[in-house]
Structure 1
């Protein structure tokens, strides 16, 4: 993937090292879990949007990880921070692609900000830790990203690579697009009126799969600059496979509960990403077929 020549965004806020480091372990009756147990809990938290820090405790291991991350992310000798540059250029590319898509449909694209952080962060949606993983907050229209997630995704989940990392960012920008189009509000209302948790989860799955599809649309429309290879595309497929709800549930608890899915199965995530990638058309990202979500506003 050629990302070095992508346009840079001015909307990256780098808050790494600006406060909120590691936290101590749980006192009193709390339980500190180490090794593989803590890792699995953290991974489940990342992809299900659950803050597991109150279970895993954090402590010295988390602090050491953050210190190591800070040391590697900021280059010595006055060299630029490659992680920040990568994120800035991927974000810049999404701004260019979605700006063009919206303009062609008589709309104006409002660019989101992306916040880089380490450990924990305060957002308009509340306080979050790295256990939550990358997320989009509609209240302040910002994407929040602890870049150590990229390392864990590659080392622990079998995903990773430049285009896989770009896919993660593009997925979160997909949520911003949904917010601008009013789809997120529709889903929120539908979930609040759902009679069962399983029914509410189906709306969440539709939202996440559409964000995957929008990420694929970006991948297709930016390909003239990124010159993607089949290896690059396979990286995204591997990542989508690794972060499917069924794959994570098998890893975390040994069995699968489809009614509890909130992001979609591995196969669903791959299929919808590829739908967007093959078409380059957001109108193909109709993940809410058969529901009361109106997607007529898709650009």
Structure 2
């Protein structure tokens, strides 16, 4: 992905020097992880085995790797701002209000609960912000088998897509329904939310190439692989479990790839209506 030297976003809230202490996730911490899953973060909790997970050190020195990761995220966020501003104008007939992205190291807090490296990136409707510990990119590469800078960009685009859903009123309406139905039905709605975000991410990838020429050979394959590796069935299988569809909250690997590809091929937000799609 070609991103160096490009415009960065002003909508970055950098908390990487403000944290402190080591986070051991267990007991109430595990409940916090499950709660964050409700708000559509990347669900890596099937990988959490045993009583706790070390979340790492909050704050501390900003390394060169941290600096580069922060700049990469900022450039990617700036790209989403330009893409969605234009798409809202041309396809929605409205103004897009960009999301704020919070960078942190180790641990931080949000209205949706505590965040740590174990929770993965997530969008919090409570303050309309995306939370991201860039160490998750290392987790993606080493533990989830999803490496590459465009795979990381896909994760950012996916979380921004949840903000797009919030701007469109989709997220609030879907979550309202989720609170009124059974857990299994709530999970099924969550899957549709996540797959729509994947479809929106595909639209972003298409527009990023058209506008900025930022894609290089193999980038789309990286994003597709990332979508595949964070499918519910793959995560559960890699955690040594038999996949249980009624517990899925993000969709299968095949579904996540399929909906990303739909957005990529069409560029039309109407094609991303997962809520009326049969089958997914």
TM-score of the two chains, using structure 1 as the length reference: 0.81
Who is 1:73 aligned against? 65
Who is 2:34 aligned against? none
Who is 1:121 aligned against? 108
Task: State the Cα distance separating 1:215 from its structure 2 match.
Answer: 0.6
Who is 1:132 aligned against? 119
The answer on 1:279 being equivalent to 2:266 is yes
After superposition, residues 65-214 of structure 1 pair within 5 angstroms as 70-74=62-66, 81-104=67-90, 105-194=92-181, 196-214=182-200
The answer on 1:219 being equivalent to 2:196 is no
Task: State the Cα distance separating 1:226 from its structure 2 match.
Answer: 3.4
The answer on 1:48 being equivalent to 2:34 is no
Who is 1:58 aligned against? 54
Deviations 1:154-208 (A, max 9, x none): 11211121111000000000000000111011111221222x3211111000000
Query: Larger Cα Rg: Structure 1 or Structure 2?
Result: 1
TM-score of the two chains, using structure 2 as the length reference: 0.86
Who is 1:43 aligned against? none
Who is 1:2 aligned against? 2
Q: Distance in 2 between the 1:110 and 1:258 partners?
A: 35
Task: State the Cα distance separating 1:25 from its structure 2 match.
Answer: 8.3
Task: State the Cα distance separating 1:70 from its structure 2 match.
Answer: 4.3
The answer on 1:258 being equivalent to 2:245 is yes
Who is 1:269 aligned against? 256
- What is the RMSD of the two structures over their aligned residues, measured on CA atoms? 2.6
Q: Kindly indicate whether the alpha-carbon contact (under 8 Å) linking 1:133 and 1:145 is maintained by their aligned counterparts in 2.
A: yes
Deviations 1:101-151 (A, max 9, x none): 112232011111101001111112222222111000111111000000001
Q: Kindly indicate whether the alpha-carbon contact (under 8 Å) linking 2:19 and 2:59 is maintained by their aligned counterparts in 1.
A: no
Judge which range, 184-193 or 50-59, deviates more.
50-59
Who is 1:18 aligned against? 18
Q: Distance in 1 between the 2:238 and 2:136 partners?
A: 18
CA separation of 1:108 and 1:239: change in aligned 2, threshold 3 A? same
Q: Distance in 1 between the 2:149 and 2:213 partners?
A: 11
CA separation of 1:49 and 1:136: change in aligned 2, threshold 3 A? farther
Deviations 1:28-54 (A, max 9, x none): xx8xxxxxxxxxxxxxxx743759699
- Number of positions where the alignment pairs a residue of Structure 1 with one of Structure 2: 263
Q: Distance in 1 between the 2:19 and 2:59 partners?
A: 12
Deviations 1:68-107 (A, max 9, x none): x843435xxxxxx211111111000000000011122320
SS in structure 2 at match of 1:23:
strand
More helix by share: 1
Task: State the Cα distance separating 1:278 from its structure 2 match.
Answer: 0.9
Judge which range, 253-262 or 124-133, deviates more.
124-133
CA separation of 1:70 and 1:227: change in aligned 2, threshold 3 A? closer
